Amino acid sequence: MPKHEKSQERYQIEEKPDEKELKAREVLSTFSNKFSFGRVTIKNVGALRVLNSTCLPVHYRNWFYDGIFDREEKYARIVSFNDILVGGVVFNKDDVSSYYIMSFSVLKQFRRCKIGTYLMNYVLNVAKDDPAIKRIHLNVHVINKSAIDFYMNAFGFVQKKRIEKYYKTLKPSSCYELEKEITH
């Protein structure tokens, strides 16, 4: 198989992205046309693991990555640039009416060029397609200012509460629970 086809097989998700997906991708096309978008597969899950361990202060174990394949594939998304995985989100339906964002990462060198915006718009689009979903929520370390700015300023998440002793291995150990309501 020619190299470019192999790469498409690795990263491409659906043959025909719908209108909302195309719109979500538009934000990135301003920066480059070398981005591609995909689902998490057995072939790229290792790269997602490396990305998350590079970007996040907490490390996820095997069950986290295995769990991606127990759920519908729409609950995880990656962005690659020239075959390098540069962004990824993993989320899940944690009760009948809410989604929980489990991990959200963009490679440092690629930040502030709207990869996070694409990924969040992807999650919002999935949520909007599910009439039962009323909110999206997540936990963020209290000192993670850039992520808090991203969620609250760029996407209108609000702070629901501060949870003390949330992280076993981080100091401070507190997180904020942030939430965004979904209107259909």
Ligand X SMILES: CC(C)(COP(=O)(O)OP(=O)(O)OC[C@H]1O[C@@H](n2cnc3c(N)ncnc32)[C@H](O)[C@@H]1OP(=O)(O)O)[C@@H](O)C(=O)NCCC(=O)NCCS
- Nearest approach in angstroms of CB 128 to ligand X is 19
Shorter beta-carbon distance to ligand X: residue 11 or 151: 151
Alpha-carbon distance of 131 to 183, in angstroms, equals 9
Shorter beta-carbon distance to ligand X: residue 4 or 108: 108
- Other CB atoms closer than 10 Å to residue 172's CB: what's the count? 12
- Nearest approach in angstroms of CB 144 to ligand X is 5
- Nearest approach in angstroms of CB 30 to ligand X is 11
- Find the radius of gyration of the CA atoms of the chain: 16
> Which token pair is 52?
């998350």
Alpha-carbon distance of 92 to 171, in angstroms, equals 27
Alpha-carbon distance of 53 to 128, in angstroms, equals 30
What residue is closest to ligand X based on CB? 116
Binding footprint of ligand X on the chain (CB under 6 A): 55-56, 104-106, 111-117, 138, 140, 144, 146-147, 149-150, 153-154
> Would you say 143 and 162 are in contact if contact means Cβ atoms under 8 Å apart?
no
Shorter beta-carbon distance to ligand X: residue 8 or 54: 54
- Nearest approach in angstroms of CB 106 to ligand X is 4
